[in-house]
Amino acid sequence: MASTDIEAKVVVDARGLLCPMPVVKTAKAMKELQTGEVLKLISTDRGSVADIPAWAESTNNELIEWHEEAGDFVFHLRKGQGG
Amino acid sequence: MYTSPRAKLVNVSTIGNPVLDEEAVRRIVRSEIEHADAKDPGTASAALIASKGTLDWAYPPLILATTAASLGMEASIFFTFYGLNIVHKDYDRLLKVSPLGNPAMPMPVPMPNLVLGLPGMGPIATKMMQSKFRRKNVTTIRELLDLARDLDVGLIACQMTMDAFGYKADDFIQGVRFGGAAAFLAKARKAHLTLFI
């Protein structure tokens, strides 16, 4: 699925932030969403590439896709049951 | 073909459907994890000890605890001995780095320990690290402490060390609770994740 086709309910802009902020901000924002809704995260922290998939797996949220876009790392995450 | 013993519970029928699709596999895995977690709440708990009172060593416990909370875990940090510096109201002044006896510390030019021991070298090293962190936009200790409290990370100061060092409850930031070894162990025995930092 092309990332432009995914409609995000909320966008978390974590550009310029380092560990642990991208994960912490994502977790906080995800709390406000309903199951099935999508969060878009934009990060410049290279650690996010490992951390966000690990966070998603560990919290029962789904990483739909991620890609690099002009130096930013863009993630689309769908809130899972109890995630 | 392997069928999960809980496959029925999660409503996956393999009869007439010999190939499980991705969604079915995900459902089974999720159910297995939930089942394991429910049986073993220790997987959702982290109990850390922070025993060091330098700027560099203040980071690992705070980063790990706030991240654990973001992973949905119940996290707590027990601050003991020099670790008390981290939750002292005066943490900004107390948390320093020392280049002395720390050959791993990056220096602009190599310096022998004899030079590093001169008066003023500690403050210079601390300033250097602070400005490096600022330049790289590293999260500050203040932000991490605010986050920890916001995320309900348990912050427990060791009463025995407080008494030994002459600290009062009032010397610590808001939200810190006080306790001893039993307070830590009561949490640690229920947590798979325990670290002494």
Over residues A51-78, the pLDDT tens digits come to 999 899 889 899 999 999 999 999 999 9
Task: Clarify whether residues B12 and B83 are in a common domain.
Answer: no
The fold of the A3-78 domain, in CATH, is Translation Initiation Factor IF3 (3.30.110)
Task: Clarify whether residues B185 and B126 are in a common domain.
Answer: yes
- CB-facing half-sphere around the CA of B109: CA atoms within 13 A: 2
Task: Clarify whether residues B34 and B120 are in a common domain.
Answer: no
Task: Clarify whether residues B52 and B142 are in a common domain.
Answer: yes
- Angle subtended by helix axes B141-150 and B55-70, to nearest 10: 30
Task: Clarify whether residues B145 and B187 are in a common domain.
Answer: yes
Task: Clarify whether residues B31 and B45 are in a common domain.
Answer: no
* A60 contacts chain B (CB < 8 A): yes
Residue B4: the pLDDT is 57
Task: Clarify whether residues B179 and B121 are in a common domain.
Answer: yes
Task: Tell me if B125 sits within 8 A of B98, measured CB to CB.
Answer: yes
As for how many domains chain B has, the answer is: 2
Task: Clarify whether residues B93 and B120 are in a common domain.
Answer: yes
The CATH number of the domain where B192 resides is what? 3.40.1260.10
Is the pLDDT at A36 greater than 70? The verdict is: yes
Task: Clarify whether residues B124 and B168 are in a common domain.
Answer: yes
Range of the domain at B23: 1-39
Peptide bond into A20 cis (omega under 30): yes
Dist. CA B124–CA B130, nearest whole Å: 10
Task: Clarify whether residues B55 and B145 are in a common domain.
Answer: yes
Residues in chain B with CB shorter than 8 Å from the CB of A19 are 63, 67, 139
Q: Which of A6, A18, A19, A49 is catalytic?
A: A19
Domain edges within chain A: 3-78
Task: Clarify whether residues B31 and B73 are in a common domain.
Answer: no
Over residues B145-169, the pLDDT tens digits come to 999 999 999 999 999 999 999 999 9
- Return averaged pLDDT per consecutive 10 residues of chain B, 197 residues in all: 55 62 85 78 92 96 97 95 97 91 82 85 90 93 96 95 94 95 90 95
Looking up tokens 């280049």 gives: B99
Dist. CA A57–CA A67, nearest whole Å: 18
Burial (CB < 10 A; 0-12, 13-18, 19+), residue A75, is buried
CB pairs under 8 A between A and B: 41
Task: Clarify whether residues B74 and B24 are in a common domain.
Answer: no
**Residues on chain B bordering chain A, Cβ-to-Cβ distance under 8 angstroms:** 30, 33-34, 63, 66-67, 69-72, 136-139, 147, 151
In this complex, which of A19, A28, A58 lies closest to B63 when CB atoms are compared? A19
Known catalytic membership, residue A30? no
Q: Do B70 and A27 touch (CB under 8 A)?
A: yes
A38, two tokens: 């999508």
